[in-house]
Structure 1
Amino acid sequence: MFSSRRKALLAAAFAGLLLSAPVPGALAAQPAEVAAQDAAIYTIDGTDTASRTEMHRLGAEILGVRGGTAQVQATRAQAEELRSRGYRLTEKSSLDEELGKINGSRGKAAPGDFPPGDEAYHNYDEMNAALDGAVAEHPDIASKSSIGKSFEGRDIPVVKISDNAGADEDEPEVLFNCNQHAREHLTNEMCLRVVERFTSGYGSDAGVTDMVDNREIWVIPMVNPDGSTYDIASGQYQGWRKNRQGTGTDLNRNWGHKWGCCGGSSGDPNSETYRGTEPWSAPETAAMRDFVNSRVVGGAQQIKAAIDFHTYSELVLWPFGHTTDDVTEGMTQQEYDRFERVGTAMADSNGYTPQQSSDLYVTDGDSLDWMWGQHKILAFTLEMYPASGGGLDGFYPPGDVIDRETARNDGAVDILLREAGA
């Protein structure tokens, strides 16, 4: 993706075309990172929504689910607690062993680069260079700016694509954002594909041209640039999920709607699903909030639909995550039916499984619930490839699947863009 321009774009980046650099010493390790040393990866068969929610509330992290079989990361104490409650855990490996196998199969790159075999992935600088290149080649339909700063001072870039990118036209707006969780690098590639497809295809692809002429498309490829950068800072993978604020905050538990309400996040700073000290305590989520709020024009939210891309499990998810009820406060039957209809259509296009977010397990303080609960944005989460994994390896698919697995979602992207105008 963007491969034909990559070297030239990197040269331009180092010439000063990138957004601002991180603050000095930003990658310094935090002492609490040793908290994961006691963790291991387990397989638990025969799980359902209720059991996965209980596991989640006990502090175990659900890495992926397929056909009722869950891959779970838990400390030894958490594992014993789960066993005491009747769960049958099969230990796969310790977290250190898991990372050792993943990194051992690839080798080591220069600091800040993806390991050998995964060079097709874009780090922060390369991502910015690719965006700069797309805007430079298509200045009439694309513009780039920043929604704000990360904890370590990196800009969080956003690209607008529309037939008149410099104007705020009265057209339905659609938001695509990626990489809230640091290790989910495939999602960054998904957002880059959206940018590439709707810029390079303009004028030659009738469907792309129609959407660019009649929509305002916003793309935020890397919501968590600090965490994503840290995950490959050594030239090998770290399995890092959160941002880099203290022990790290799970950005997708830090949003303001029903924050911390329902046992769907953790108050433990060492937990992988730590929700932060208060809603919006992470600067990255605060920047996302401010950007989406800024799209309220004349009292009406201009963003009509959104996709938040994650990995993994190949799922199409819709609100709410904080409750297992379909119809509840803030969700009528007619509204739910629309989510189910559009979500099922997207899943039919990419082969994913469609379901309400809480069918996976209950979460609170996530972006999906806030987008709908606060702004009535038709918001979905797409959990990308693979369908299942042995544990952490599901977050690190090889670079040679990027083109196939991002193109696989072209239909889903188009479905949502069309629905935004309904």
Structure 2
Amino acid sequence: MHHASPSPFRRSLVPVAVGALLLGTLATGSATAEPGYGLYEIDGVTTPEERSEIAATGVAIDHVGEDSVLITGSTEDLDELDSLGYAARAFEPARTLASPDPGYTTYPELLEIIDQVVTDHPGIAAREVFGRSHEGRDLVAVKISDNVTVDEDRPEVLFVHSQHAREHLTVEMAVYLLHLLTDGYGEEPRITELVDGREIWILPNVNPDGSEYDMAGDTWRNWRKNRQPNEGSSAIGTDMNRNWAYNWGCCGGSSGNPSGTTYRGDAPESATEVKAVADFVRGRVVDGEQQITAAIDFHTYSELILWPFGHTYDETTGAMTQEEYDTHRALGEYMAEANGYTPQQSSDLYITDGSINDWLWADQGIVNFTYEMYPRSASGGGFYPPSSVIERETSRNEEAVLRLLDYADCPYRIIGEQDAYCG
């Protein structure tokens, strides 16, 4: 597949310390990698094309520097990289992983919080179970709207959290939004107006098996995938954010090896939880029209706001017109003004395939973004910042999220094309 080179403008947006995006495996704060895998650094890597070539070998890119990358890979991977001219050297983490921080919310605690929110705000908050995880945990959605028990013809907004198990700050973001949009109702005019005019869906943890496993040991386990066994392999888990049914496995942006941390599964939606979330989203189609107009998929880390596509460097494709791209970019930049994140197309970092980002747009027509939350680099704690930052880093996104909710009636309004798209 031919890829146009990204523009110099967009390439220059890549921050020096973009961390692991939604793609990496272990941050520099890791104690060890997966068994048989190690953490390595490759110098002299400066372009998305080079990073994509490295990722296509099956290694996970954990961290992008100005002229280097950190990767997790096996010795076999290193031989392949060497044949491509990339010399990897062992990287020694600056710090070891601590014990799981009790300031982070476990899944049983999250369910208690959800129940309390619904009990305290029965008129505007409702809980529903839309599926079950591989290990049988309830997958829960919370709906927030002024007439919550009625399916009204209003713009719907979706927030997805914790596809990747170790990204616990995203669950705290869900807890923050649950309280913001319910406790603020009737108190804050802007929030009241948005809850009255939208139907908001929060999926606070779509990978509970993985997140519970990650928190269950004496140290954080650096677990990324779900906990579903793979037939014919002793390796556990699928990378949920490589398992979506749009251009799945198309472009060298995921691993076909069950042991790989970016393993895409043996078929699109083969991950139990991905199928459940996809069915939930498809279930919001009423009379042939998708009711969800806008979405955010929350990840850590790197402080980025990303938009589709990840599978190609091109801005426009058969599935993305220039005006549609401009809408994503303008909204991404507008939200980034509020939280200080770096806005860019997902593939400006490197190629990925089978992501929810690409599927939500190309399959469902939902204007959507990936937020890569705090920290900006591994030095801030990587995937495991101290829980003392939770309040600061979740509230930091309040205005940015409200801006998306503001535009959910017609995202194309931000480029002045509301008549053409929403008339």
Structure-2 residue corresponding to 1:58:
57
Runs of at least 5 residues in structure 1 that lack an aligned partner in the other structure: 1-33, 108-114
Matches within 5 A, 1:4-153: 36-45=34-43, 46-93=45-92, 101-103=96-98, 107=99, 115=100, 118-153=101-136
Structure-2 residue corresponding to 1:350:
339
- The farther-off stretch of 62-71 and 273-282 is 62-71
2:200 match: secondary structure:
strand
Q: Hey, what's the Cα distance between the residues in 2 that align with 1:122 and 1:68? A: 36
Q: Does 1:408 align with 2:400?
A: no
Q: Hey, what's the Cα distance between the residues in 2 that align with 1:125 and 1:409? A: 25
Match of 1:154 among 134, 137, 151: 137
Match of 1:282 among 271, 292, 306: 271
Q: Does 1:200 align with 2:183?
A: yes
2:91 match: secondary structure:
strand
Equivalent pair of 1:173/1:215 in contact (CA under 8 Å): yes
Equivalent pair of 1:313/1:384 in contact (CA under 8 Å): yes
Q: Does 1:185 align with 2:181?
A: no
Cα RMSD between the aligned structures?
1.8
Q: Hey, what's the Cα distance between the residues in 2 that align with 1:249 and 1:91? A: 26
Q: Which runs of 4+ in 1 moved over 4 A?
A: none
Q: Hey, what's the Cα distance between the residues in 2 that align with 1:240 and 1:119? A: 17
Q: Hey, what's the Cα distance between the residues in 1 that align with 2:67 and 2:399? A: 27
The alpha carbon displacement at 1:42 in A equals 2.5
Q: Hey, what's the Cα distance between the residues in 2 that align with 1:261 and 1:367? A: 14
* Cα shift readout 1:354-377 (whole Å, capped 9, x = no counterpart): 111111111111101110001110
Structure-1 residue corresponding to 2:307:
318
Equivalent pair of 1:65/1:388 in contact (CA under 8 Å): no
1:101 match: secondary structure:
coil
Structure-2 residue corresponding to 1:370:
359
AA at the equivalent of 1:408: R
Equivalent pair of 1:151/1:284 in contact (CA under 8 Å): yes
Q: Percent identity?
A: 52
Q: Does 1:361 align with 2:350?
A: yes
Structure-1 residue corresponding to 2:26:
none
Q: Hey, what's the Cα distance between the residues in 2 that align with 1:134 and 1:359? A: 39
1:37 match: secondary structure:
coil
In the superposition, relative to structure 1, how do residues 317 and 35 fare at CA in structure 2: closer, same or farther (>3 Å)? closer
In the superposition, relative to structure 1, how do residues 69 and 140 fare at CA in structure 2: closer, same or farther (>3 Å)? farther
Runs of at least 5 residues in structure 2 that lack an aligned partner in the other structure: 1-31, 230-235, 411-423
The alpha carbon displacement at 1:84 in A equals 3.9
Structure-2 residue corresponding to 1:12:
none
* Cα shift readout 1:134-166 (whole Å, capped 9, x = no counterpart): 111111000011120111111111100001111
1:266 match: secondary structure:
coil
Q: Does 1:217 align with 2:197?
A: no
AA at the equivalent of 1:162: S
Q: Hey, what's the Cα distance between the residues in 2 that align with 1:42 and 1:208? A: 46
Q: Hey, what's the Cα distance between the residues in 2 that align with 1:88 and 1:383? A: 29
Q: Does 1:294 align with 2:283?
A: yes
The alpha carbon displacement at 1:79 in A equals 2.8
Q: Hey, what's the Cα distance between the residues in 1 that align with 2:251 and 2:113? A: 40
TM-score, normalising length: structure 1: 0.85
The alpha carbon displacement at 1:87 in A equals 2.8
Q: Hey, what's the Cα distance between the residues in 2 that align with 1:215 and 1:71? A: 42
Q: Hey, what's the Cα distance between the residues in 1 that align with 2:376 and 2:33? A: 28
Aligned residues: 372
The alpha carbon displacement at 1:224 in A equals 0.4
Q: Hey, what's the Cα distance between the residues in 1 that align with 2:394 and 2:56? A: 32
The alpha carbon displacement at 1:54 in A equals 1.1
2:368 match: secondary structure:
strand
The alpha carbon displacement at 1:235 in A equals 4.1
1:234 match: secondary structure:
coil
Equivalent pair of 2:144/2:199 in contact (CA under 8 Å): yes
TM-score, normalising length: structure 2: 0.85
Structure-1 residue corresponding to 2:386:
398
* Cα shift readout 1:331-381 (whole Å, capped 9, x = no counterpart): 001110111100111111111111111111111111011100011100110
* Cα shift readout 1:190-228 (whole Å, capped 9, x = no counterpart): 111111100111111111111111111100011101000
Equivalent pair of 2:33/2:39 in contact (CA under 8 Å): no
* Cα shift readout 1:70-125 (whole Å, capped 9, x = no counterpart): 332122332343244333434323xxx78x8112xxx4xxxxxxx3xx22210100
Q: Hey, what's the Cα distance between the residues in 2 that align with 1:385 and 1:79? A: 30
